[in-house]
Structure 1
């Protein structure tokens, strides 16, 4: 349509150029003009020659004008047809104009790009927050490192100074605390002892009275300051803290207890001391207390219960849950168990579920290394196991004692100065070792 229009214009322009060329060859003057009027310029419209000129080319001009008119009519028809088609498209697709169809993919892509931009902005903001947190953490760590360096420098200065003995250790030594007392010691405190088969001496607390009785302390519970949830090695070597006034908690160590309790032909007596939360004190004494070597898992044995108002919990207790309760909770003949060495008679691990090392059966009626509970009664709906400091013949298994002590003395010293050996009613245990299946 536009090509036809261009051709028409080109023909018209050619005609004008032809006319102009012819007129340029014909110069008007007074001789060849019928009328000459200067107001019309050089090409006087009334000249005689111009009339002849136009008559000469009229036929060609009429033909060209006819062609132009036909072309113009064709252009008009094409224009009307295009208008009709546009109107038809608008009627057929009123909801989606052609321009919207063309731009829809670009709008979608633009929205996706903007969504990516927003996501990247959020990621940058989040990373900036993380960087700020890490910078603060780094600064905190740098401050902590600086303090540690300062503390290290202080300790290095202290280490350069001669060591000062802050704990008083008595000079006398012996194979046990009674031996120390026999040598003249009359003051309770920290002493080095060396049992007969010990490779080297070790520190213990000796409780010595005015009559010369020397008790060797094996265990002390006072305030829950020491966690008794320890492994086999820790119970073997001992843990906690010894103090010259016996005001700290500790376990002397199974290896040391073995060396002390098995070194003499004279049997040792184990005394268990208990104090409840009403400050009532009770005791239980056991004849010929011994702890076997590690090869036998530090097995506990004794001959019989001598006496004591705390009762004989080592012999087991009938809790009323099962007819065999007393038999299954006897401790005589039991090997020592910890959470990492299960030597009990239970299908599970008593030491693991109760959180401490002890001579477990299935599982216990006495448990002096249990968890420290303030106030005595500790049972709660969420508590499954009786894991307190228990002595079932004095208080039920849901009562945890305030203080305990385990200490040894040779049997020959037990009845000195009013400490009577109550043999009546005492019970001997045969070689069958009740509770050892």
Structure 2
């Protein structure tokens, strides 16, 4: 990943982020530096927010990221958030590659960044979701990896634990699909399944999904759990290294 690419991601994700919105003493190697649990001496402990990350992909690159320091021990880099429908997730391929939105609100961190990070060592992933009926569920995966652009950012996900049935098993091994780059197994483009009025958005579509946090906001078929479809009103997808909380102190 080039310096130009990193800079572009920063610009796409941080429009509207002023200095006072950064966490105090915010320069860290990665979100593991602000994990809780066994890390007694970590800086800015228990403060979730935007940090300057200096060890991006272990290449000395710098960029901003939103760290969740509280959930399940902390140390999570948030890579997707939906909360009010203000951000349009019906984006083309290059936008999903580079990332879009605002770290202070709704955003997608970018496929290139996801590949760059998860291509090194083992990573875990967690999805925190709130359904339209008020129910909160989570899905934790001990394995999470995004392949390169050459491999259409194929998803590898496994090792499930959670509060309901596994909604991502159906997507394991799927390539990423957007409205202008159809790589799914459906006869039509899953990213455009509901038409121009309510497009389904870019995702690791199979034919098409059992979970789609990037779907048109609050759509009636956002996620399939226990043989029933539900609407999603909030999601956060977050990742961290498997050794997070143990390798720095």
TM over 0.5: yes
Cα distance change of structure 1 residues 203 and 290 upon mapping to structure 2, 3 Å threshold: same
User: For the residues of structure 2 that align with 1:239 and 1:210, how far apart are their CA atoms?
Assistant: 24
Cα shift at 1:195 = 2.5
- From the two aligned structures, give the one with the greater helix fraction: 1
1:196 aligns with 2:57: yes
1:224 aligned partner? 85
Larger radius of gyration: 1
> Root-mean-square deviation (CA), in Å?
2.5
After superposition, where does 1:143-292 map in structure 2 within 5 Å?
165-170=19-24, 171-174=26-29, 176-181=30-35, 183-186=42-45, 187-193=47-53, 194-196=55-57, 198=59, 200-209=61-70, 213-243=74-104, 248-264=105-121, 267-292=122-147
- Are 1:294 and 2:126 an aligned pair? no
In 1, the alpha carbon distance for the partners of 2:226 and 2:50 equals 31
Q: Measure the CA separation in 2 of the matches of 1:202 and 1:396.
A: 40
SS at match of 1:361: coil
Q: Secondary structure of 1:402's match?
A: strand
Structure 2 length-normalised TM: 0.78
Distance in 1, matches of 2:34 and 2:193, equals 40
Selected match of 1:311 from 142, 160, 165: 165
Distance 2:191 2:72 in 1: 39
SS at structure 1 position matched to 2:207:
coil
Q: Is the 8 A contact 2:157 2:168 kept in 1?
A: no
Query: More strand by proportion, 1 or 2?
Result: 2
Q: Match of 2:120, SS?
A: coil
Residue 334 of structure 1 corresponds to which residue in structure 2?
174
Which residues of structure 1 form unaligned runs of 5+? 1-163, 316-329, 379-387, 415-437
> Is the Cα contact below 8 Å between 1:172 and 1:185 reproduced in 2?
no
Deviations 1:217-239 (A, max 9, x none): 01111111111100011111111
- Asked which structure has the greater RCO (Cα within 8 Å, sep 6+), the reply is 2
In the TM superposition, residue 408 of structure 1 has moved relative to its aligned partner by: 1.1
TM-score by length of 1: 0.46
Q: Is the Cα contact below 8 Å between 2:33 and 2:43 reproduced in 1? A: no
C-alpha distance in 1 between matches for 2:72 and 2:138? 20
CA contact (8 A) 1:197 1:259 kept: no
Query: 1:167–1:195: structure 2 CA closer, same or farther, 3 Å change rule?
Result: same
5+ long unaligned stretches in structure 2: 1-17
SS in 1 for 2:133: coil
Shift of 1:400: 1.4
Structure 1 residue ranges, 4+ long, deviating more than 6 angstroms after superposition? none
